[in-house]
Amino acid sequence: MIIKIQPGTTMYNIAVAFQLPLGIVIASNPNKDPNNLSIGDTLQIPGYQADTRLINAGDTYWSISQQENTDINQLRLANQYSPENLPIGRNLNIPKMVRGTIVQTDRIYSSSLMEEHLKELVEVYPFLDLRVIGQSVMGKPIYEVRVGSGSKLVHVNGSFHANEAITTSVIMKFIEEYAEAITTNEPIRGNNMMNYFENVTLSLVPMVNPDGVDLLAEGVPSEQEYRDLALEINNNSTDFSGWKANIRGVDLNNQYPANWQIEQNRKPKQPSPRDFPGNAPLTEPEAIAMAELVGRENFDRVLALHTQGQVIFWGYEGLEPPESQEIVSEYSRVSSFAPIRYVDSHAGFKDWFIQEFRLPGFTVELGKGVNPLPFNQFDEMYEQMLGIFLANSYI
């Protein structure tokens, strides 16, 4: 919700009136000097949207606040009208708190619907920082959400593999639940999320592979070039349920220079719905975007969400640091997922991160069954992953 600054308006009295942490009001208005607000300028109020109603004869801020169950100070801050002279027939803004109404958790996200919902989330919760970190083969944006001001930098991504797109919904739901908890001052499993905000900076990429996910969510592309390519790779079948790759038939989680040659020697030698590592490491724009993101940031740890198996892979070639074991032990405790240190697999995002930076990296395999997992597993998957999300604040 956007309000205009009136004489006497401060970020502090906004925070008090709307029962928001002052730090969140400041974070929602990064281009404003909290100590030098200009009358007539605008401020964003996180967690609120404005309804309207007509002003009738005899209405006052007090009577309207009683009728609408709204704080009178919120009404005064959200409107420019003098309390002594509300103009009959004009619209009055009524601040309303937003609660859990945006994110989709019952079916696969398309990249366009995810983009729409991310923008809605940022509009309601402007302390979320939405960035484009790259583009897919087809030119679709790859989005990152940043939230938090803490010194601990944690990165989480989903949907490296197209038919594991339920991981996008897991990340999206956490973004919304986290943001709502901050603006409503309600804990998540006893955790004060403002403390989380102040201790941790989260980097979240909900959908690494938008072109591949859209094959499952929407079917073959309308662009003839990519339609023909996808059908050729998929043996002219329009059933893309087994598709893991990007639109060019490259498995993005086999694209990283961590013993990539081993995967090249034993995986498909040409574009395929799954497992083709490409003709060289880091040829695909989606994999490159993720590598560049990691390369320019100083993430303390990374988590890549996949399905399925209810396990957490946490080591690579003995290069993982000692604290990885402590971290994965806590992840395992809060999720009930089995920690697995080594597996005969290479060239993955997690493998490369551990190899290059000698920092903790994890591949979290959510759910059980055959991909794509049905959404009737979503609630259980989310609750298990929620424990891992929250554990990042204290371990």
**How far apart (Å, rounded) are the C-alpha atoms in residues 55 and 92?**
6
DSSP letter for each residue of 164-222:
GTHHHHHHHHHHHHHHHHHHHT--BTTB-HHHHHHHEEEEEES-S-HHHHHHHHH-S-S
365 is catalytic: yes
Of 115, 365, 380, 383, the catalytic one is 365
Number of Cβ within 10 Å of residue 285's Cβ equals 19
Q: Return the SS3 of 349.
A: helix
The β-bridge partners of 383 are none
72-104: b (≥16 Cβ within 10 Å) or e: bebbbbbbeeeeeebeeeeebbbbbbbeeebbb
β-strand 301-307 against 361-366: which pairing, if any? Answer: parallel
Beta strand ranges found along 39-168 (DSSP E): 42-44, 48-54, 91-97, 129-135, 141-147, 152-157
Contact between residue 109 and residue 190 where contact means Cβ atoms under 8 Å apart: no
Distance, CA of 65 to CA of 194 (rounded, Å): 28
Helix (H) or strand (E) holding 313: strand 311-313
C-alpha closest to that of 229 among 210, 254, 246, 208: 246
Q: Which residues are catalytic?
A: 365
